[in-house]
Every structure is written in structure tokens, then in C-alpha cells.
């Protein structure tokens, strides 16, 4: 592993450990209410959703509008498993997430193989239709609770587990997209015809990215099901898919750290604006419009935020100051 890349990983782990320690200390001291503790868990879920959609929209360069559909599949798969009480506690929660990811991934393959033959607006329309079909089917079948929703799901709200799952999911997707597989996907985004001409299996890698995105959307859905304890198909409508897409666009399409930051901000912002009552969504929308006017490429564009840049700048400044003192 190159020295610079190793340094990035080590400093990232340190930053994550510091963030976890601060939040956990605040929770343990009772300085964060149950409401804010639940919101922090929701931030972890939205980060996984935003980063997973970023794999398809940012890295692959294909617009999809049915991400909430994969989330709902994972949510109901995990909820139904946990509700059966085959395995309880943390093991049961983790097994339900595995099931959620597998089921969402299988559906991703079924949708991805024919759907990814199209691109642009046509793919967006297909995924939009898929999301709505899934929602209608969930409301139709009795075993999913129908229109009344699925209740009685054992709640699991352990911040430590949610944080570890979020960090591990983002790390896995980032590592995958910076590997040779990720470089092949990036090549397809830049020029699919040229990629095919040099021997890259474009169909395989497009479906591969789509399935990775679906799997982690399913896992996020499973976490959401155990966070809420109650599910309703209307929670996973077109608007939810748009909200996830907004997180990706605002952070910068192709930037994993950008998606992480925007998911955090856009989860907290509506709650902070609750005091404005009827004007809350207007203010929220205006903030997004202003952001897109002045930063059309998003917060970070396609770049990644690395704390090593600040560390290196600090070291170089110290060396420069030391050299000037010697002179």
C-alpha cells in the first residue's frame, strides 16, 4: 500500500474514533435527548443511502430514481425476518441486514440487467417506475401488512452498532470504487464506447455497480426498519428517492466524503428549521437553490476531502518557518 494512501486510512480511522467518542460521551452523559439520539442513527442510515446511490449516479454516471424502492425491499425483508423471532438480539439484527442486502441485491440484478441497456432519461424513468411498482406491491400483499403497514418489528437503536455499520459500509464502497473494478466503472462513465473497445466488460461492470448500490440500500432499509419499529409503503415513495438524490448532488456526484457531509447536513437541517413551522420547507428549498446556484458541482465536486492535506500543509508551514529561523 502506498505511504500516502496508508496515511489517509490511518487518519480517517482516527477522525472516526474521535467523532464516535464525542457523540457517545454526549449520549452517556445524558446531554443528548432520545430524539437527537434517534436522529443521529438516522444520519448513519442516510449516509449509507447517499453513498450507495453515489456509486450509481456519481461513479457510474447513471441517473436512477428508484433508490427508495431498494431501501423498502431491504426494510420489509429485515422486518419480516425479525418479526418472526427466529433469532433475537444483535445476532438476529445482523442476520436480518444480511438477508435485506441479499434480497435487494437479487432484485437489483433482475432490474439492472435489462434496465442498464438504457441510459440517461430512459433509465431514470425505468427506475422511477420500479420504485412505484414496489410500493404498490407492498400495499397489495397481506404478509407485508398491506396499506396499514408492518408493525411489531423489534426495535434496535444501538448507536455503536449503527456507527460501525455506517463506517464499514462507506469504507467498503470507497475501497471497491478505488480498486481496479472502480477504475473500470469510472472509465465507463467517461466513455462507454472506448471502454468497450479496450476490453472492459461494460455490461458486467454497470450491473456490478448497480447491484452494489442496491445491496447497501437494502442494508440501510433494514437498519431503518429496526430504528422505527413500524413500516408503511408510503414512507418509500418517489419523494424519498429524490431526497437521497439531492444528498448526492449537493455533496458532489462522485465524491464519497461529499455525500457523507451532505447526508449529515440535510438530515439535521429540516429538524433545525422546525421552529419556523409552515416556512420550514420553503427555507430548506431556498438553501438548496442558493447552494446549487453558487456551487453547481456540489460541495466537493468529484474531489474527496482528506485530512492529510491539512496535516501536510501544517508540516510544510512548520518546515518553512523553521528554515526562515535558521536563516
Residue whose cell numbers read 505511504: 3
Is the pLDDT at 217 greater than 90? The verdict is yes
Is the pLDDT at 323 greater than 60? The verdict is no
Instruction: Label each residue of 197-213 as H, E or C.
Output: HCCCCHHHHHHHHHHHH
Among the ranges given (143-147, 213-217, 310-314), the one the predictor scored with the smallest mean pLDDT: 310-314
**The pLDDT value given to residue 310:** 58
**The pLDDT value given to residue 1:** 45
Is the pLDDT at 326 greater than 70? The verdict is no
**The pLDDT value given to residue 318:** 56
What is the phi-psi region of residue 50: left when phi exceeds 0, alpha when psi lies from -120 to 50, beta otherwise?
A: alpha
Domain borders along the chain are 37-326
Q: What is the pLDDT of residues 257-309, one digit of tens each?
A: 889 999 999 899 888 877 776 676 777 778 778 877 877 777 777 677 665 56
Which among 75, 98, 237 is positioned nearest to 144, based on CA atoms?
Answer: 75
Its pTM surpasses 0.85: yes
What is the phi-psi region of residue 201: left when phi exceeds 0, alpha when psi lies from -120 to 50, beta otherwise?
A: beta
**The pLDDT value given to residue 22:** 92
Distance CA 217, CA 127 (A): 14
Which among 316, 184, 306 is positioned nearest to 256, based on CA atoms?
Answer: 306
Distance CA 82, CA 96 (A): 7
Q: What is the pLDDT of residues 1-34, one digit of tens each?
A: 445 666 667 777 888 899 999 999 999 888 888 8
Residue 116 DSSP class = T
Distance CA 139, CA 232 (A): 8
Greatest CA separation for the chain: 81
Residue 147 DSSP class = G
Q: What is the pLDDT of residues 51-103, one digit of tens each?
A: 999 999 988 888 888 899 999 999 999 999 999 989 989 999 999 999 999 99
Is the pLDDT at 245 greater than 60? The verdict is yes
Q: What is the pLDDT of residues 262-272, one digit of tens each?
A: 999 989 988 88
Q: What is each CA distance from 6 to 56, 169, 275, in whole angstroms?
A: 26, 19, 45
Distance CA 118, CA 286 (A): 33
Question: 37-326, what's its fold?
Answer: ABC transporter involved in vitamin B12 uptake, BtuC (1.10.3470)
pLDDT band at 218 (very low <50, low <70, confident <90, very high): very high
Q: What is the pLDDT of residues 189-203, one digit of tens each?
A: 888 889 888 888 888
pLDDT band at 321 (very low <50, low <70, confident <90, very high): low
Residue 297 DSSP class = T
Helix or strand holding residue 129 (H, E): helix 121-140
- Torsion angle of the four alpha carbons 135, 140, 146, 149, in this order, in degrees rounded to the nearest 10: 0
Amino acid at each position: 500500500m502506498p505511504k500516502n494512501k496508508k496515511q489517509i486510512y490511518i487518519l480517517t480511522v482516527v477522525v472516526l474514533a474521535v467523532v464516535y467518542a464525542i457523540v457517545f460521551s454526549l449520549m452517556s452523559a445524558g446531554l443528548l435527548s432520545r430524539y437527537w439520539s434517534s436522529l443521529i442513527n438516522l444520519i448513519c442510515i442516510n449516509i449509507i443511502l447517499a453513498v450507495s446511490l453515489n456509486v450509481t449516479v456519481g461513479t457510474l454516471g447513471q441517473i436512477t430514481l428508484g433508490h427508495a424502492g431498494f431501501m423498502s425491499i431491504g426494510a420489509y425483508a429485515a422486518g419480516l425476518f425479525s418479526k418472526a423471532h427466529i433469532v433475537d438480539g444483535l445476532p438476529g439484527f445482523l442476520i436480518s441486514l444480511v438477508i435485506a442486502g441479499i434480497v435487494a441485491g437479487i432484485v437489483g440484478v433482475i432490474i439492472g440487467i435489462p434496465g442498464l441497456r438504457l441510459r440517461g432519461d430512459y433509465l431514470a424513468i425505468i427506475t422511477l417506475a420500479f420504485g412505484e411498482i414496489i410500493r404498490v406491491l407492498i400495499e397489495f400483499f397481506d404478509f407485508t401488512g398491506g396499506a396499514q403497514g408492518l408493525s411489531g418489528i423489534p426495535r434496535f437503536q444501538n448507536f455503536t452498532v449503527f456507527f460501525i455499520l455506517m463506517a464499514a459500509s462507506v469504507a467498503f464502497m470507497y475501497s471497491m470504487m478505488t480498486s481496479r473494478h472502480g477504475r473500470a466503472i469510472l472509465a465507463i462513465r467517461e466513455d462507454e464506447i472506448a471502454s468497450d473497445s479496450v476490453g472492459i466488460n461494460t455490461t458486467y461492470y454497470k450491473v456490478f455497480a448497480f447491484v452494489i448500490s442496491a445491496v447497501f440500500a437494502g442494508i440501510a432499509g433494514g437498519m431503518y426498519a429496526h430504528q422505527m419499529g413500524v413500516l408503511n409503503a408510503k414512507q418509500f415513495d418517489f419523494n424519498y428517492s429524490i431526497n437521497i438524490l439531492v444528498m448526492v448532488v449537493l455533496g458532489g456526484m462522485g465524491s464519497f466524503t461529499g455525500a457523507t457531509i451532505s447526508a449529515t447536513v440535510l438530515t439535521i437541517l429540516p429538524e433545525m428549521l422546525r421552529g419556523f413551522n409552515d416556512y420550514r420547507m420553503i427555507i430548506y428549498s431556498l438553501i438548496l437553490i442558493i447552494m446549487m446556484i453558487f456551487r453547481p458541482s456540489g460541495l466537493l465536486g468529484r474531489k474527496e476531502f482528506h485530512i492529510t492535506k491539512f496535516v501536510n500543509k501544517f508540516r510544510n508551514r512548520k518546515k518553512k518557518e523553521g528554515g526562515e529561523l535558521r536563516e
